[in-house]
Amino acid sequence: MTLQDSPDFAVTHVFRLDGGGRTAAFASFDRGVPGLVHFGASLPMEEALSDLAIATIPNVGAGQIDPFQPLTLCPLAITGWQGHPGMILQDADGRDYLANPKLAGVEANGPDGVRFTLHDRGDAEGVRLIISARLDPATGILHLTQSLTLPRGMSSSWLAAPAVPAPTGMSRIIDHSGRWCGEFRRQETEFRTGAHMRESREGRTGHAHFPGVTLASASTGEHAGTCLAATLAWSGGHRMLAEELPDGRRQLQFGVLDDGVARGEIASPTLMLAWSDAGLNGVSQAFHGHLRALQAPVNARRGREPHPVHYNCWEAVYFRHDFDELKTIATRAAGLGAERFVLDDGWFRGRNDDTSSLGDWVIDAAKFPDGLTPLIEHVHAQGMRFGLWFEPEMVNRDSELYRAHPDYLLGPEDQPSGRNQHVLDMARKDVRDHLFAQISAILSAHAIDYVKWDHNRPLTGGSPDQARGFLALLGDLVRAHPDVDFESCSSGGGRIDFAVLELASRVWLSDSNDALERLRMQHEASRWIAPEVQGSHVGPRHCHTSGRVLSMAFRAWVAAQRHMGFEMDPRELDAEEAATLTRVTAWWKQNRGFLFSGSLYRLEPDDSEVFAEMTVDMDRNRFILFAGQAGASAQIFPRPLRAAGLDPDAIYEIRLVNPEDVSRRANRRIVNALADGGTMRLSGALLMGTGMRLPNAAPASMTVVEGTRIGAGASHA
């Protein structure tokens, strides 16, 4: 971090952070709230930041407020800013209070950060605002937070995370909608005068409102062009606002959604920004690197395979937990290659359907008269680890917990239920303490190294303290049980964000195991979430959520793109299906280290029915490419598929990993050797420029390609 005093009367301070190939430059005008005047490519150290800051301010036009109005990290109405403010305050009588914070101090916040302290009108006894910025030296991600201290009697009805300008030329707004069993649906609009606003009012992140947005230029694609991605690290209700003022300037704000008011000490969640001049893949790889950096020290300390093949029994037995049947299923799953057995909903006292027992985290003696230990021992004997499902934040009225503590319920008695259940008030410490004691007792008494943490309904009320309480409880359990992996599940993808991923090592992307739906969802989720963090399971032959029947090869290869698992009754498999699943699983085990350490590139197939991506190692010696064919293409032949991330001067030997899955009906005459298991030698320049023609693909099929640089050998991780 460097700090420069400016002789210019308008610019009080300018300062910069450098790291990860990026520069973040800030400027304070007349000791006001600093603004982010540059975030992007590294600037020369000789850059005159005062001139840069002044260059971002337009000249005052007719009909405008007299002084210039810079967009700051906390834009304020009192300065003449005509857009949405960064904070809205009320005095003791409930009237709007126009704070005017002045810069009181700037200090280094670690080697890569800076902290700005501001006092209202320069008065240290009034409103105090602290804004912190940190530029990650490895990923180039900029982390921004702000906190507010209010005098007694004052309140805040809105405090955004620090506001940032939309960089010049980035007119496109790309975000994601979705629904249960249909998460991560990409949508796009453009800036226009006014605000594009997204809100989640579910009390959780929400299936339809992943808290992230990407701003991009008109020409930006997966591999080229400039873009800025922003995400709020928060697991509760939130608001995103992308606004264009009538004067043409554009701002981006994220904040916690709270219909009430906050008092005292208030802090925004972290806003994370990634910039790329190498297309959308560039910002994705930055966020993937962030998640990998979080998990690397934990995985190293545990000293075990961090991504075992899962088996989850939910779609095999649902609530029907029979000890002997579960043993049989576990043995069969292990034979197919599973490395962890997860016992899902139905193991606790009285739980035979979804109408009762949530909140009573005691093993059901009717189903497991000797407890869970005999099942765990059987699972271990098959060479697998053991995981368990919980839904800690929920309660059924038909439960011992509700009968003993009806006051634990969040909200009024006459509120509607969701999935026959209600929500516990996680803002209460006594509620969290009760849940911690019950869950911790189960984890301490058994050899359990994985928890699937579910949250199966939206809220009908509750403040942000509900989400804070959840994060506090989960954090306490993570610290008390450091060898347990936690997965964030919320009816599938209802709570996926960078706050919960500080604590959870895996997300359940969707309750849909339909491989066609998964193909699309996984592809879009990769814009933010690293592949190893996304759980993906091979579902039943007859999909329970969509009714589709899809081939085992397609189901298995789609799951093999991410953290692979099974979620079906393995006894339904015929010999051919079992052999296919065993083969794909064995391949995945051999290659998961490579897939989860290389750089992921989404490709541009020029065909809306093809979802293609590839992973390339750091030395560009090897790649694995997945080309998923969702439906029938408009043209007869598949278009050549252009690779990315390779060395243009290298020659790569190309082969199909799964030639046995090539459709002979779609390929009556084989032209190149790939479809018959042969190889081809092509340059990186050709693969990325002209592209390669893969075999004609039938709908709902996957083609998997491996390439190795000639002379480098395989670089299996």
Domain of 27 in residue numbering reads as: 2-58+68-290
Same domain, 267 and 322: no
Q: Given this model, what pLDDT does residue 7 score? A: 46
Same domain, 273 and 317: no
517 located within any domain: yes
Helix extents (H) in 446-538: 465-480, 515-525
Q: Could you tell me what percent of the chain has a pLDDT over 90?
A: 89
Give the other-Cβ count within 10 Å of 629's Cβ: 26
Whole-model pTM: value is 0.96
Q: What is the mean pLDDT of residues 537-561?
A: 97
| Nearest in space to 469 (alpha carbons), one of 501, 506, 423, 407 | 423
Lowest-pLDDT range, 98-102, 258-262, 421-425, 675-679? 258-262
Same domain, 498 and 617: no
Output the domain CATH number for residue 473: 3.20.20.70
506 located within any domain: yes
645 has pLDDT over 80:
yes
Same domain, 538 and 673: no
Q: How far is CA 682 from CA 81, 643, 691, 709, in A?
A: 57, 11, 10, 10
Task: Kindly state the helix (H) or strand (E) to which residue 589 belongs, with its residue range.
Answer: helix 575-595
Q: Given this model, what pLDDT does residue 235 score? A: 97
Q: Given this model, what pLDDT does residue 584 score? A: 98
Instruction: Give the domain-ending residue among 569, 592, 615.
Output: 592
Model confidence at 4, pLDDT cuts 50, 70, 90, reads low
Same domain, 324 and 431: yes
63 located within any domain: no
Instruction: Give the domain-ending residue among 592, 626, 658.
Output: 592
- SS3 call for 709: strand
Q: What is the mean pLDDT of residues 332-355?
A: 98
Q: Report how far residue 509's alpha carbon sits from residue 183's, in angstroms, rounded to the nearest whole number.
A: 8
Active-site residue list: 454, 511
Instruction: Give the domain-ending residue among 559, 592, 625.
Output: 592
Same domain, 90 and 185: yes
CB proximity list for 95: less than 8 A, separation 6 or greater:
none
Q: Given this model, what pLDDT does residue 463 score? A: 87
Same domain, 576 and 669: no
Same domain, 281 and 149: yes
Output the domain CATH number for residue 248: 2.70.98.60
Same domain, 276 and 413: no
Q: Given this model, what pLDDT does residue 714 score? A: 47
Lowest-pLDDT range, 62-66, 73-77, 442-446, 599-603? 62-66
Q: Report how far residue 516's alpha carbon sits from residue 321's, in angstroms, rounded to the nearest whole number.
A: 30
- DSSP code of 321? -
Same domain, 466 and 320: yes
φ, ψ of residue 211 in degrees (nearest 5) = -80, 65
| Nearest in space to 275 (alpha carbons), one of 319, 235, 226, 210 | 226
427 located within any domain: yes
Q: Given this model, what pLDDT does residue 1 score? A: 57
pLDDT digits (tens, 9 = 90+) for 14-61: 999 999 999 999 999 989 999 999 999 999 999 999 999 998 888 888
Same domain, 361 and 469: yes
Give the other-Cβ count within 10 Å of 170's Cβ: 21
Rg (CA), the chain: 27
Output the domain CATH number for residue 672: 2.60.40.1180
Domain count, the chain: 3
Task: Kindly state the helix (H) or strand (E) to which residue 558 belongs, with its residue range.
Answer: helix 552-559
713 has pLDDT over 70:
no
299 located within any domain: no
234 located within any domain: yes
302 located within any domain: no
Same domain, 474 and 567: yes
Q: Does 1 or 403 have the greater pLDDT score? A: 403
Q: Given this model, what pLDDT does residue 11 score? A: 73
717 located within any domain: no
Model confidence at 124, pLDDT cuts 50, 70, 90, reads confident
